[in-house]
Structure 1
Amino acid sequence: MQRGFTFAQTDCAKCHVIGRYGARPVPEAALFRTLHTLFPVEDLEAFAEGITTGHPSTPQFQLDPAQIKDLLTYLQSIQG
């Protein structure tokens, strides 16, 4: 779980709230703690295929299977 948190903190926290509390740095960015209201967190296949978005400021990510597991474990731990 710590490695998933570290990835989120390093690569996602500039825009997203990655913890259980806090305000969004970027208002339209999803709150990690409420992702489960949008889709089942365990089914985030975008992480397996690489994250791409239509937002130019969002970097692309390609995670290996261990990183995906770590990040999903972290995300599941903070769902409200």
Structure 2
Amino acid sequence: MIGRSLMPLAFTLATLMPAAAASPQEQRGKTFALNNCAKCHSIDKVTPSPLKIAPPFRTLHKRYPIETLGEALAEGIYTGHPTMPTFQLEPDQIGDLLSYLKTLE
């Protein structure tokens, strides 16, 4: 009976506790996305993309395994629509961005 009486308290504490802090790598990836991608893409877990045809980053893992995006980011992202600029990232930027994208899964 004690376990059941503590369940509401445990639930309340769990919902009030802040989420785990982002690692420095995840924070750098989020900053990169904010500065370079957020004009068109949603870079969080809830908002719509400012540009309707730009997929929200939170859905990328449904299309591609996030780990496989590193090579494309290194070689340059090229898309079929003219509003998407070409991006070619440095290895540290790739690691940072991939770490951030994984937080959105």
Tell me the TM-score normalized by structure 2.
0.71
Cα distance in 1 for residues equivalent to 2:87 and 2:32: 11
Aligned to 1:68: 94
Q: Distance in 2 between matches of 1:53 and 1:7?
A: 19
Match of 1:43 in 2: 68
Structure 1, unaligned runs of 5 or more? none
Give the fraction of aligned pairs with identical amino acids, expressed as a percent.
56
**Residue 3 (structure 1) aligns with:** 28
* Cα distance, 1:24 vs structure 2: 1.6
Match of 2:92, SS? helix
Provide the aligned length of Structure 1 versus Structure 2: 79
Corresponding position of 1:13: 38
Higher relative contact order (CA 8 A, sep 6+): 1
- Larger % of helix: which? 2
Q: Which runs of 5+ in 2 are unaligned?
A: 1-25
Superposition pairs of residues 17-32 of structure 1, within 5 angstroms: 17-32=42-57
Counterpart position of 1:53: 79
TM-score, structure 1 as length reference? 0.92
Deviating beyond 2 angstroms after TM superposition, the runs of 4 or more aligned structure 1 residues are: none
Task: Please list the CA deviations of residues 13-56 of structure 1 after superposition, one character each: whole Å capped at 9, or x if unmatched.
Answer: 01100111101211111110011110101110211211121221
Q: What is the aligned-residue RMSD (CA, Å)?
A: 0.9
Larger Cα-atom Rg: 2
